[in-house]
Structure 1
Amino acid sequence: MAYAALLSLKHLLEHTLDHDYQYLILDEKQQIESLLQKLCFLQDFLDHSPQKSSETIDCLESQIRDAAYEAEDIIESHITDRVHEESASKSGDSFTPFCHQLEEVIEEIDSIKKRVEKIKDDNDVQDLQTRTEPSQPASSGKSSMVGLDDDIMEIKVRLTRGSSSIETLSVVGMGGIGKTTLTRKVYDDEKIVQHFDIRAWVTVSQNYSARELLLGLLDSMKKTTDKVREKSFEELADYLYKNLKGMRYLMVLDDVWDTNVWDNVKRLFPNDNYGSRIMMTTRLENVAGYENSCSPHHMRFLNEGESWNLFCENVFGKDGCPTELKQIGKRIVQNCRGLPLAIVVIAGLLSKATKTQHYWTYIGENLSSAIASNDDNCSKILSLSYKHLPHHLKGCFLYIGIFPEDYVIIVSKLVKLWIVERLLKPERSKSLEDVAREYLLELVDRNLILVHEKSSMGKIKGCRIHDLLRDFCVREAQREKFFHVNNMGLCGISEGTKVRRLIIHSYRKLNDLDICLHNMRPRSVLNFDLKHYHPLEIFINPRLLSVLDKKTVRIIEFPVNLRYFAFELRFGRSFPASLLYLLRNLQIFVCENLGSINLPLEIWEMRQLRHVKFWEVVLPDPPSAETEGKKSFIVLDNLQTLSNVVNFRCTEEVIQRIPNLKRLKISFKRGAVLERGYYCLNNLVHLLKLESLSCSIISSLSFWKNIAFPISLKKLSLKNCCLPWEDLTIVGSLPNLHVLKLLWYSFDGLEWEPNEGEFLQLKYLMLADINLENWIADSIHFPSLEHLVIEQCRYLKEIPSGIGEIPTLESIEVSLCGDSVVTSAKQIQAEQQSLGNDDLQVRIVNQS
């Protein structure tokens, strides 16, 4: 975790120079600037160091990590002391220099830097890379596979039919999902053997040699001799080309990690229009889709029946599972989550052990550790994907291990945590949120993260990680001192150990936890324990605590270094101004209380805020610069999310302070001031970066007359407005609107007929609990619509038949509506199917 530690320290140094310079004396400022230069050098070294580990590189990385952690602790600890001193005395004269402590760390980093320079000067980096071993063709023995018969048939059809021109087919999926086994089954199939004149198989792997790759193919074709092995690369390439010329061939490149592999070999395969095929297996989506002539075949997880059959075949052979073991056996298989590698490994273990209920129950309760400790090959397969990650992704991937098993990870929360944990490498012209989303997509493309749910905007909303990969993350993170997961106790943490991040999944003895937390001084504490609803008082030393996601956890002394604070307010409905004054670095501010909370004026002085999310929050009007005798005011230019603000006064002063807001949720309640123009909602149009707006108005219709929307708006949710349908033209004219949700009496009236030329970019439309009877619309009214959701529209007679003629429409979902609406949805689907459109999905849910 050297790279992640360097990134975090670099963020800190830059922040200190930009925002905390008043707490530094001159010598300290010079030290920090010098240290920043050294970090850039080390970061560049790691960026270009080999991905495959070696003893020398591993040792250097450990030293870099520890030195970076030490420097971070020294700087933040002293800055914290100086904030307290300034708060108490209003003077910086008593500041105690920390040059000496920092100098010791700088000397250590200097020493590391010299060793790195020596490695670079001696070209040792190249020598540290593992030499490529000759690729060996896969075994020619029959492969065992249970299930996936449809997949095998599909691939055989794609290989033997279609274009006579050469085509490439990739099989893609996570490590251990059975790509090689499936491909081997196809490769050895009798019809495939008969169809192709020549077949060859080579395993490429991460560190490959183009020359050895050619020799592997020729070996598989039985075309190598001692003389052939002495040929140069170009001679081997010519020899392979001549042996394939005029033949219908099938070439398999197994375990490809780099697009360069295809660039190096594609010219070696003659295209004689004989229907030749090339297959590749890979874990990487970018490799699978690289210059391929047909779409990749994505491997799926085994279903319950296929998993059980594979398990029984490997444990019992032709014999069936004994009745007394069937229930626990099915639980074991279910916990393998359809991953063939996990099923085969645990089946191999159980096949050699005593077949008793007691032992099988034990294995079921300790499945992950049993797999990890009994099969080195399994660990190697999973760790390959991690080792192949670029340095900037490794910390983000391991961090996903903080979430419990089977947990649906909310991506918006994961992104926020990556940011405040300083795991992201900043890029010019991109927000950290955008960088984080790109990292997530890259992990998905590498088949390390599974997409669980997408939002109405088409972005990944929820994701998951397979249990085996999660367990790998936890083990690797604890080995690297990255985080420690607590399960029912604090075993594995010796007394006096500093734990940088403590993840609480469950706890038994509260006193033990309190004592350990006080001694460990963690920087991050995240509580995922859902079983304990009473508050847990944790006596945390708050000096360096930066991330606190505590749900039912309560702390005694308030941390001043917090960057992420998710909490339940237990001391009233007004947040103390004295606490906000201390939260000078806060970026994520989340309160999970039901009910409304009043924030003090100090909220407008928190420059680092990025996301503020409350159930309901009342914001004070910001003080004007004139009333405070100032020439300028503080701009919260990092603030992107503000939710849910009650009776939000959108004045010019407010807009000027939040110019980069992207997501806003506001509500206006009965009893709000009703004077026209008091809330200045027409000023919303000046939020030029606003993409998502949710607005609930339980008050006067005069609000709507004063409202205007920025053209940047992509998502709009309206609730309680009770407006006439003709006023929806204000919304329909928005040029970039992709998602529209009309909820709970947002519009009132029995008939809605949209105007042609509106909603041109709308992709998602939800109508929920609105008073609508006749909806008059055709395909021209929503030309880009992809998803239609109708919920609790009890008076609606039917969905217009013309909606089904929209060429982009993918799905219609109906819930808690009248039978006539359900009938119209089914009729639309039937009509489209009669026209050959089988892609339109209709879902009927929650109907009695």
Structure 2
Amino acid sequence: MGGLGKTTLARKIYQNKEVQRTFIARAWVCVSQQFNVKSVLQQILEQLVPDEKQIANMEQRELVIKLNKVLRRKSCLIVIDDIWETDHWEILKPSFPIGDVDCKILLTTRNEKIASEEYRYKLDFLTEDQGLMSDELRHQLETIGRQMAKKCGYLPLAVSVIGGSLRHKQTLSEWEKVNENIDVYLKQQGEGVGENKRVRQVLDLSYNALPYYLKPCFLYLGCFPEDQEIYAEDLYLLWMAEGMISSEDKGNRETLRDVAERYLSELAFRCMVQVKVPECPSAYRKFESCRLHDLMRDLCLSKAEEEGFLKVIDFEEAKHNFPPISNIPRLAIRMNEGCFHDSNFNEREKLKHMRSLLILRLSIMFFTKDRVTISNFNKFKFLRILILEFCIFEDGRSLLSEVGKLLHLRYLSLYGSRGVEELPVSIFNLPYLHTLNLDIDASDDTTLKLPNMICKMKRLRHLFLGHNCESMDGEKLRLDGLNELETLEGFNSKHACAADIPKLTNLRKLEIGWAE
């Protein structure tokens, strides 16, 4: 079942230094229930041969042949995480040569039929002693701790989540209260529940125990696709744009971004999210990314919908029967294929309550001829966050002219998208915009022309420029006047004025691109 620690153990092996020295190349890919064989093969090859530029354009048969050749040529370790069906493995098998090759494949699965018994390592539940780290507890807490570990079914995920909620509780009365809450909650759900449902109840209790300021931060993680690594810096900016990070919670010399990092740290301590630490952590950057365990993500999505916090729509499943979205404050639409048009929204629906709209493709490798077209943003006039990532726009300039009417917009991302060659002036007149991501896809050498007006965006705090951004007037982009700017990525002295950098007195992060 989920939560036994399969992925955790596989990741320990994958990241082991001796293992890394043994193999020339490694690849990690998550499969889960949303199985797409072409996507799996592309992701593996992109990690094994990162310099190969044609992988995104290969058909499935070509990918199988290519992967077969790579695995015969060099020693590789491939981890296929969370594969559900035997049929899925049978489809993938022909891609991996059998015989005298110096490669290893590690699968994690809930399905014992995936592999024969001789190749299977079955994880069990924790023992009673493993479920309680008694050497770290005072003797008077040990008995009550054992009771709670038993109620968690000795499942590592459930034990660690309850342990996380106890992290800062030092007295016997605090532990007794948590123990009583588990009893009361399980009784309310009825007797004789199965293991999976019992685990869900324990996780549900851990969500209820979160302080008020962490609940929306946790629920917001439901926006992101299953098994996706969520880049921590992007998450902080979204939390801030949503108003989830309180200025009142700032400590001495802390920024809102520092508070956001502290919130993520708290969620990690409570074992609500799994965090990845960068290879070279610093005082400024403690976390590289985070992700949700699939059981925790199920909890996140159900709570988000139950509380009217967020609606997530899979476009491929819903395009012929788009669900009602009236009075929903946040909408995330995930799509790989299919043309999206704002006519998908019912004309009679009330969308004035919508604050966040995220239209996300899985990645650039799935670019097709399908287009995203939004011709009228009048329905969304109170929108604060608009994310259009890895999209292909039918008419980028017209779409962005409409975006320029969203006076309440705080966060705009066009990351990885195509079909935008010029930004209208109206974008630079948005009064509250503090995050602007213009790092569009430039694989076809498209140049993004900007009015030389960035310097007038006085509230802008985070600016992401693609290496192909340049001014319409032929002059270098001026940045002087961005007194609140904290992040500047993609700066290129060929297209922007380097003399303005010392004038950005609040700048905390600068990433410089190559000047040709």
Q: TM-score, normalised by structure 2?
A: 0.53
Tell me how far apart the structure 1 counterparts of residues 479 and 164 of structure 2 sit (CA, whole Å). Answer: 56
Query: What stretches of structure 1 of length at least 5 have no aligned partner?
Result: 1-145, 149-175, 188-197, 208-253, 266-279, 284-370, 484-501, 624-632, 673-678, 697-718, 722-848
What's the secondary structure of 1:203's corresponding residue?
helix
Describe how 1:463-542 pairs up with structure 2 within 5 A.
463-483=290-310, 502-508=311-317, 510-513=319-322, 516-517=323-324, 520-530=326-336, 532-537=337-342, 538-539=344-345, 541=349, 542=351
CA, structure 1 residues 404+694, in 2 after alignment: closer, same or farther (shift >3 Å)? closer
Distance in 2, matches of 1:439 and 1:255, equals 14
Alpha-carbon distance in structure 1 between the residues aligned to 2:193 and 2:299: 9
Q: Does residue 410 of structure 2 align to residue 587 of structure 1? A: yes
- Residue number in structure 1 paired with 2:504: 687
Which residues of 2 match residues 314-329 of structure 1 at below 5 A?
none
Q: Of residues 547, 550, 553 in structure 1, which corresponds to 2:356?
A: 547
Give the superposition deviation at 1:440: 0.8
CA deviation profile, 1:361-412 (whole Å, cap 9, x unmatched): xxxxxxxxxx986555323322332222111112222332343432322333
Counterpart CA distance in 2 for 1:460 and 1:449 is 12
Matches within 5 A, 1:237-252: none
1:202 aligns with 2:202: no
Q: Distance in 1 between matches of 2:303 and 2:490?
A: 40
Aligned to 1:557: 376
* Residue 660 of structure 1: aligned partner: 485
Partner of 1:445: 269
Change beyond 3 A, Cα 1:395–1:680? closer
Give the drift of 1:605: 2.1
Query: What is the one-letter code of the residue matched to 1:261?
Result: Q
SS in 1 for 2:439: strand
- The CA deviation at 1:526 is 0.9
1:604 maps to which residue? 428
The CA distance in 2 between the partners of 1:409 and 1:468, in whole Å, is 17
- Does the C-alpha gap of structure 1 residues 382 and 264 become closer, same or farther in structure 2, counting only changes over 3 Å? closer
Contact 2:316–2:338 (8 Å) recurs in 1 = no
Partners of 2:483 and 2:505 within 8 A in 1: no
Contact 2:327 2:354 in 1 (8 A): yes
2:210 is equivalent to residue 389 of structure 1: yes
Q: Which runs of 5+ in 2 are unaligned?
A: 1-120, 149-162, 179-191, 361-370, 441-447
Matched to 1:643, the amino acid is L
Provide the rounded CA distance (Å) in 1 between the counterparts of 2:399 and 2:318. Answer: 31
Distance in 1 of aligned mates of 2:423 and 2:492: 16
Shift of 1:423: 3.0
CA contact (8 A) 2:357 2:383 kept: yes
Partner of 1:435: 259
In 1, Cα distance between equivalents of 2:383 and 2:409: 6
User: Does 2:233 match 1:412?
Assistant: yes
Distance apart, 1:656 and its partner CA: 0.9
* Greater length-normalized contact order (CA 8 Å, ≥ 6 residues apart): 2
SS in 2 for 1:440: helix
- Indicate the structure (1 or 2) with the bigger Cα radius of gyration: 1
Give the 3-state SS of the residue equivalent to 2:465 in structure 1: strand
Classify 1:580/1:422 alpha carbon distance in 2 versus 1 (closer, same or farther; 3 Å): same
Q: Deviations over 1:9-48 (max 9, x none)?
A: xxxxxxxxxxxxxxxxxxxxxxxxxxxxxxxxxxxxxxxx
Alpha-carbon distance between aligned partners in 1 of 2:464 and 2:498, rounded to the nearest angstrom:
15
Amino acid across the alignment from 2:488: R
The code of the aligned residue for 2:264 comes to L
Shift of 1:533: 4.3
SS where residue 647 of structure 1 aligns?
strand
| Preserved contact between residue 206 and residue 256 of structure 1 (Cα < 8 Å) | no
1:683-711 Cα offsets, whole Å, 9 max, x none, are 21211222333334xxxxxxxxxxxxxxx
1:34 aligns to what? none
1:554 positional shift: 3.6
Partner amino acid for 2:217? C
2:356 alignment partner AA: V
Q: Does the Cα contact within 8 Å between 1:403 and 1:409 map onto a contact in 2? A: yes
Amino acid at match of 2:213: H
Distance, in Å, in 2 between the alignment partners of 1:573 and 1:185 is 57
* One-letter amino acid matched to 2:274: L
Is the CA contact (8 Å cut-off) linking 1:419 and 1:432 kept in structure 2?
A: yes
Superposed CA RMSD in Å reads 4.2
**SS in structure 1 opposite 2:357?**
strand
Matches within 5 A, 1:750-769: none
Q: Are the structure 2 counterparts of residues 523 and 183 from structure 1 closer, same or farther at C-alpha, using a change threshold of 3 Å?
A: closer
Q: Deviations over 1:442-493 (max 9, x none)?
A: 101111111246375553222111111222222333332333xxxxxxxxxx
SS in 1 for 2:130: helix
- 2:309/2:328 contact within 8 Å kept: no
Determine helix, strand or coil for the equivalent of 1:585. coil
Whether contact under 8 Å (1:203, 1:255) holds in the other structure is no
Q: How does 1:224-303 map to 2 (within 5 A)?
A: 257=166, 259=168, 261=170
Letter in 1 for 2:314: H
Checking the alignment, whether the CA contact within 8 Å between 2:439 and 2:464 is kept in structure 1 is: no
Q: Which residue of 2 aligns with 1:836?
A: none
Counterpart-to-counterpart distance in 1, 2:193 and 2:304: 15
Q: Please tell me whether the aligned partners of residues 373 and 394 of structure 2 are also in contact (alpha carbons under 8 angstroms).
A: no
Query: CA shift at 1:256, angstroms?
Result: 7.8
Cα 1:505–1:373 shift into 2, 3 Å: farther
Does the aligned pair in 1 maintain the 2:385–2:411 contact within 8 Å? yes
* CA spacing shift, 1:661–1:509, aligned 2, 3 Å: closer
Alpha-carbon spacing, 1:547–1:179, altered in 2? closer, same or farther (3 Å): farther
SS in 2 for 1:413: helix
TM-score, normalization by structure 1? 0.34
| Residues 393, 439 of structure 1: 8 Å contact kept | yes
Q: How far does the alpha carbon of each residue in 1:217-272 deviate from its partner, in whole angstroms, 9 at most, with x for none?
A: xxxxxxxxxxxxxxxxxxxxxxxxxxxxxxxxxxxxx998254526999xxxxxxx
Distance, in Å, in 1 between the alignment partners of 2:427 and 2:279 is 30
Which residue does the alignment assign to 1:644? 466
Summarize the Cα distance change of 1:663–1:603 in structure 2 as closer, same or farther, 3 Å threshold: same
Report if the CA contact (8 A) 2:393-2:420 is conserved.
no
Alignment of structure 1 residues 321-340 onto 2, 5 Å: none
1:154-210 alpha-carbon deviations (Å, 9 max, x no partner): xxxxxxxxxxxxxxxxxxxxxx984854156989xxxxxxxxxx9993215999xxx
Asked if 2 retains the 8 angstrom alpha-carbon contact of 1:450 and 1:464, the reply is yes
Distance 1:205 1:385, change over 3 A: farther
Compared CA separation, residues 635 and 391, structure 1 to 2 (3 A): same
C-alpha distance in 2 between matches for 1:585 and 1:206: 51
Alignment of 1:122-133 (within 5 A): none
| Mapped contact 1:611–1:640 kept (Cα < 8 A) | yes
Query: Is the 8 Å Cα contact of residues 332 and 359 (structure 2) preserved in structure 1?
Result: yes
Aligned AA (1:510): K
State how far apart, in whole Å, the 2-side matches of 1:584 and 1:522 are.
Answer: 20
C-alpha contact (below 8 Å) 1:396/1:423 kept by paired residues: yes
SS of 2:266's partner is: helix
Structure 1 residues 379 and 372, CA, compared in 2 at 3 Å: closer, same or farther?
farther
The aligned amino acid for 1:608 is Y
Aligned equivalents of 1:605, 1:578: Cα separation in 2: 11
Q: 1:464 to 1:185 in 2, by over 3 A?
A: closer
Q: Matches of 1:462 and 1:255 in 2, distance apart?
A: 19
Q: State the Cα deviation string for residues 715-762 of structure 1 (Å, max 9, x = none).
A: xxxx255xxxxxxxxxxxxxxxxxxxxxxxxxxxxxxxxxxxxxxxxx
